[in-house]
């Protein structure tokens, strides 16, 4: 069964450093999403991406965040200068015509 994959599973970084979280969506899907979940809190929408551009973003997705689909398979989330409060699980999701399929997440720890 096709699935969304994410790498790395755990990323530790120093405050102020740039991180890139990677996702491989399901191959024939056209809609892509990033969500995050701070420990103990609910899953929050960050951004949706369709047709090589951002279709919607939340207030959380400020200028420090960017997304890219650099080739036909990867979908990345970049945080330019990480802050302590960026520590969270980051989930990628993709969608065809119906439901969203989520990846297993990347746990980002900012020290």
Partner 1 sequence: DAKTTQPPSMDCAEGRAANLPCNHSTISGNEYVYWYRQIHSQGPQYIIHGLKNNETNEMASLIITEDRKSSTLILPHATLRDTAVYYCIVRDDKIIFGKGTRLHILP
Least distance between partner 1 and beta carbon 102 (Å):
3
Q: Which of 92, 101, 102 has the alpha carbon at shortest distance from 21?
A: 92
Least distance between partner 1 and beta carbon 10 (Å):
12
Backbone angles phi, psi at 25, to 5 degrees: -70, 175
Least distance between partner 1 and beta carbon 90 (Å):
10
CA distance 52 to 68: 8
CB of 55 or CB of 81, closer to partner 1: 55
Total residues belonging to the chain: 111
CB of 75 or CB of 91, closer to partner 1: 91
CB of 18 or CB of 52, closer to partner 1: 52
CB of 19 or CB of 49, closer to partner 1: 49
Number of separate helices (H) and strands (E) present in the chain: 0, 11
Least distance between partner 1 and beta carbon 4 (Å):
8
Q: Which residues are near partner 1 by CB under 8 A?
A: 4, 31, 33, 35, 37, 42-45, 48, 56, 58, 89, 91, 93, 95, 98-105
Beta carbons within 10 angstroms of residue 10's beta carbon = 10
Distance of CA 18 to the CA centre of its chain: 14
């Amino acid at each position: 069964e096709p699935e969304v994959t994410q790498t790395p599973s755990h990323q530790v970084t120093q405050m102020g450093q740039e991180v890139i979280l990677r996702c491989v969506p399901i191959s024939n899907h056209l809609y892509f999403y990033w969500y995050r979940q701070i420990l103990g809190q609910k899953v929050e929408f960050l951004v949706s991406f369709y047709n090589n551009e951002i279709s919607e973003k939340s207030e959380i997705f400020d200028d420090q965040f960017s997304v890219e689909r650099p080739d036909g398979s990867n979908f990345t989330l970049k945080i330019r200068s990480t802050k302590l409060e960026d520590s969270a699980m980051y989930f990628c999701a993709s969608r065809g015509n119906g439901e969203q399929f989520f990846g297993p997440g990347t746990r980002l720890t900012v020290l």
